[in-house]
Structure 1
């Protein structure tokens, strides 16, 4: 093997605490202070980091440098907290006085040191099982991150997914009004409503005087229709929806919405007029 291969083998043996391999490689003339080209770690760095006392002793007795630094400027003593290793290196630990402020101590929060994997089993809900009670089931799993999708008609770019709420966009379909913009509706992410409840929620959110009985269907844009409770659970953030009214919920003259509670809608004359106009139009 060439020199570079032997040097890497020595660093690996030091990291694993393989005393026999370390002695064999040192006797073959391998540079004991060789460092990795990427991180600058020497065999002594690895032995100290892993706490292999016997390996540290052999390396030091064979001439390993105690003050050699890696790419970050760390000596072997800087990469270990093992008191026995530090003693071999001749480093005396300074006791820390807990009564004095230690604002200059460097630490890394646990949630950064050990971040939770987004797609771990604990986070991911099995969507293959049919829920027994849809009223207590959450919406299907969605990564709680910032989504930056290409801007389209139904998916604006740079939308933030809220960890607690799912946001839906709703409007009425085929209504002859100048202002028929989408309205955003927030739903608890942990409790997905069934189809009937969603219809009622969306009608109230629009605040246009319509009832759930006037809704023929909910269109999931661009070209799907919600038919079951499972369809509701599969809704994603900022999904655009349209409420399709029953044919008799639109005024045949001006296309305005006819309220179920209005007197004009319930009077016999109004129903007679609407029936005859419908026959003339259609």
Structure 2
């Protein structure tokens, strides 16, 4: 992947996770503050608004983030904002209600917004120096297992982020969520594997997965043909970033 694409993915991820230090660092490196994800059209501002990162929303706006950019579903950052503070920063109608995604299948990261509306990450200035606050574990991170998934040998080497409720860590639940997020039918799935080379077979396998584990869904050859570009090896792309 080209270096500027990696930096743009990292900026969207940092905005989502509330890592203001990294957001500042990436923008100072010249990373495009309005970079849209190629599939869903989300920018760093969309992610920061959706996750309630008011401090990052302010910084992005100061650095030229465009609040009028639309996602592929026609949503502005204000439409996706989950807190009144963020909506106020964006100048949105305080009586409005954030819109839901118009996708036929709504991703979990939209269906299940953060339970804690405050920033979990951030930083502050003391005596002219930037000091990083330690991340706090949110209720969302406790209740959900976050995984990175993609279609094996597909056209897009990037991962997307999915979330499994801790009380539903079963193979069937993993299969169902992967199919929903990747637009697959369960009948197309041959197997699910934990990268680099471990096949998942039962509920206990899923329960042993750790946060941000990389997963690939192996589909029938006819299904893979619909994926553009035809990347040949999962090993070559195991360090790709998730979809932000």
> What TM-score results when the alignment is normalised by the length of structure 2?
0.40
Higher strand share: 2
> What TM-score results when the alignment is normalised by the length of structure 1?
0.34
Of structures 1 and 2, the one scoring higher in RCO (CA 8 A, sep 6+) is: 2
Higher Cα Rg, which structure:
1
